[in-house]
Amino acid sequence: MPTTGTTSLSHLLSRRAAGETTSLDGTWKAIPDPYDVGGFSILGPAKDGWFRDRKPQHPAERIEYDFDGSLDLQVPGDWNTQIPELYYYEASLWYRRRFTTAEEESGRTFVHFGAVNHSCTIYLDGDVLASHEGGYGPFAVEVTGRIGVGEHSLVVLVDCIRKPDRVPAMRTDWFNFGGLHRSVDLVRVPSTFISSAWLTMAADGSLVGEVNVDGDVPTSARLEIAELGWSREVTPNERFTVSATDVPEHERWHPGAPRLYEVVFEAGTDRVADSVGFRTVETRGSDIVVNGEVVFLKGISMHAEGPTGGTRASGAEDAATLFDWAEELGANFVRLAHYQHDEAMVAEADKRGVLAWVELPVYWGIEWSNEATLTNTLEQTNELVLRDRCRPSVVLWSVANETFPGDERTAFIGSLIERVRSLDPTRLVTCALFTLPGQGIETHIEDPLGELIDVIGVNQYYGWYYGERADIASKRWTSEWGKPIIFSELGAGAKHGNHGDDGEIWTEEFQAAVYEAQIEMIAANDDCAGLSPWILKDFRTPMRVLPGIQDGYNRKGLVSEEGEKKLAFDVLRSWYASLD
């Protein structure tokens, strides 16, 4: 299903005044459709499919569906953990939400989706409007001229079918949560409106940004930071730069000391406010430098899974709990893997002064030679960067995880890197390389992607998938390019409460001992600029089936799926504290 009729409106729709935005969250009606009969008959596409949301008009009329008598699903949310019978459901499901408008339209109207996994088709009052592919990025559908006074039926056909030509593809080591798993909003804007706007600081201390306008474009746009007594007129739809000498006096946003300012963007009659922070990020040899200071990234990886219950994470409350744990750990850095997370996560990182790595779902088994796959991945790249390029916490764009070297792979990912840098030239680009250990003490990284990226991410599992724990401390890592190396994954599995000797696998003691050995190794590697161990908490995955231990969860978390801390949590926390 190609993406058609949608637009990427950055993060600004969620920043609009309350009167401009109507939440469509809450209870939606839903009908599973594993045989796709709601849109197709044996003769082809159904002209009177379920998207019509019809009721019988007389006693003899046969209509074989009824949204009102069907399932209730909460939005935002995944269907898998709400309805036990849908736990492993990977097929089509129809959502329906009726809403009433009391005023005639003025200006323009959009339905904004925080994310839908994986593909969807959107209908309003029986008419097809658009389709979208990609399960983690925000998008919007224009409904101007269709939202008059009265009741309306919004129907969304969603499928989370894994396919070889999709991104991600057929196999992932995380759960394939289906549905409308982030918020849905009805948004009203002026006829000419700000579709995206951003302001960030480049490595040389200059400011870079854009004010993009949709409609009858005015000759100028304006941005203002009242607290700094500063404003600037800019040309709409063109990137602008403010030289470092013209940037007003300000406090820097810094890890552990976040300073945010309100910036107001104006174009025509439209006005949008956002929070920005000013900081520089660059590399210097094998170091990562923030605001002119070398910063060692004391990190942790996170999946977008809620603190308890094994559900898809959503909203500020879930984000706050997850960051509470990261903060207790002593982390100044999080890797938000392996796909675009909820916007509340990066907002929380901004507020707490935690650096962030954000990532595309370019994972195992991608069809590198498929042009349609590349086209969709570039669309997902746009959604990732446009939403988060105003966020001071975001310092690393990650374009892939654990991909096998090859010419087609390198060309595909090279295209993503080019797109990222065209959208945001100020941040660092990375990816987590699939790096198998060498036979001796040293592992020398030669993956051709290392030349294209700024920071080299290394996933390595010495002491778990390979190698002896006793040998970990002696291992050394180097690269062809002398760039910073982040150990983007490391760790071992343990079930909370399972205790024994540190030589007994799946015990907390075994996991803690692996962490102790890894810490000794990392401390001795000069090119290491940081780490984001795998992972903060246990998370659902159909790949992990060992009865009594995994039970459908990856057990590498430092806390359990219910938030119970394991021994390795304290091992890492103690080491991070010693580095302060």
Asked if 162 and 217 sit in the same domain, the reply is no
Asked if 176 and 322 sit in the same domain, the reply is no
Q: Does 325 reside within a domain?
A: yes
Determine how many CB atoms are found less than 10 A away from the CB of residue 342. Answer: 25
How far is 394 from 340, CA to CA, in rounded Å? 12
With tokens 């499901």, the residue in question is: 93
Strand-strand pairing, 184-189 and 528-531: unpaired
pLDDT tens per residue across span 352-395 = 999 999 999 999 999 999 999 999 999 999 999 999 999 999 99
Q: What is the CATH number of the domain that holds 274?
A: 2.60.40
The pLDDT score that the predictor gives to residue 5 is: 66
pLDDT tens per residue across span 329-359 = 999 999 999 999 999 999 999 999 999 999 9
How far is 200 from 241, CA to CA, in rounded Å? 10
The pLDDT score that the predictor gives to residue 4 is: 64
pLDDT tens per residue across span 7-61 = 666 566 666 665 688 999 999 999 999 999 999 877 778 788 999 999 999 999 9
Asked if 132 and 161 sit in the same domain, the reply is yes
Asked if 178 and 137 sit in the same domain, the reply is yes
Q: Does 284 reside within a domain?
A: no
How far is 311 from 245, CA to CA, in rounded Å? 48
The pLDDT score that the predictor gives to residue 106 is: 86
Is the whole model's pTM more than 0.75, yes or no? yes
Asked if 344 and 471 sit in the same domain, the reply is yes
Q: Where are the beta strands (DSSP E) in 215-310?
A: 221-225, 230-234, 240-242, 261-267, 270-276, 281-284, 287-290, 293-294, 297-302
Determine how many CB atoms are found less than 10 A away from the CB of residue 512. Answer: 21
Asked if 179 and 247 sit in the same domain, the reply is no
Q: What is the CATH number of the domain that holds 147?
A: 2.60.120.260
The pLDDT score that the predictor gives to residue 328 is: 98
Q: Does 239 reside within a domain?
A: yes
Phi, psi of 317 (to 5 degrees): -65, -45
Taking 50 as the pLDDT cut, the residues of the chain under it are none
Q: Which helix (H) or strand (E) holds 377?
A: helix 371-388
Q: Of 251, 279, 307, which residue constitutes the final position of a domain?
A: 279
Question: What end-to-end distance do the CA atoms of the chain give, in Å?
Answer: 50
- Contact between 452 and 414 under an 8 Å Cβ cutoff? The reply is yes
DSSP string of 78-122, one letter each residue: -STTTSGGGTT--SEEEEEEEEEE-S---SEEEEEES--BSEEEE
- Token representation of residue 553: 């969860």
Distances (CA, A) of 470 to 334, 393, 466, 514, 520: 28, 37, 12, 9, 11
Distances (CA, A) of 320 to 87, 316, 348, 367, 375: 27, 6, 7, 37, 35
- Contact between 67 and 29 under an 8 Å Cβ cutoff? The reply is yes
The pLDDT score that the predictor gives to residue 268 is: 93
- With 0-12 / 13-18 / 19 or more C-beta atoms within 10 angstroms meaning exposed / middle / buried, residue 340 is buried
Q: Which helix (H) or strand (E) holds 373?
A: helix 371-388
- Contact between 258 and 350 under an 8 Å Cβ cutoff? The reply is yes
Q: Does 232 reside within a domain?
A: yes
Nearest partner of 23 among 187, 176, 219, judged by Cα: 187
Q: Does 194 reside within a domain?
A: no
Asked if 273 and 302 sit in the same domain, the reply is no
Structural domain containing residue 143:
6-189
Q: Does 217 reside within a domain?
A: yes
Bridge partners of 238? none
Asked if 180 and 265 sit in the same domain, the reply is no
Asked if 528 and 384 sit in the same domain, the reply is yes
- Token representation of residue 292: 């002119």
- Contact between 221 and 265 under an 8 Å Cβ cutoff? The reply is yes
How far is 416 from 379, CA to CA, in rounded Å? 10
Q: Does 382 reside within a domain?
A: yes
Q: Does 368 reside within a domain?
A: no
pLDDT tens per residue across span 251-265 = 999 999 999 999 999
The pLDDT score that the predictor gives to residue 76 is: 97
Asked if 227 and 353 sit in the same domain, the reply is no
Q: Of 219, 249, 279, which residue constitutes the final position of a domain?
A: 279
- Token representation of residue 72: 């209730």
Distances (CA, A) of 362 to 8, 429, 543: 20, 14, 18
* Total structural domains within the chain: 3
Nearest partner of 445 among 468, 475, 474, judged by Cα: 475
Q: What is the CATH number of the domain that holds 350?
A: 3.20.20.80
How far is 221 from 218, CA to CA, in rounded Å? 7
Asked if 446 and 309 sit in the same domain, the reply is yes
The pLDDT score that the predictor gives to residue 19 is: 62
Q: Of 234, 252, 279, which residue constitutes the final position of a domain?
A: 279
Nearest partner of 534 among 502, 578, 577, 568, judged by Cα: 568
- Contact between 19 and 118 under an 8 Å Cβ cutoff? The reply is no
Asked if 477 and 574 sit in the same domain, the reply is yes
Nearest partner of 108 among 56, 78, 144, judged by Cα: 144
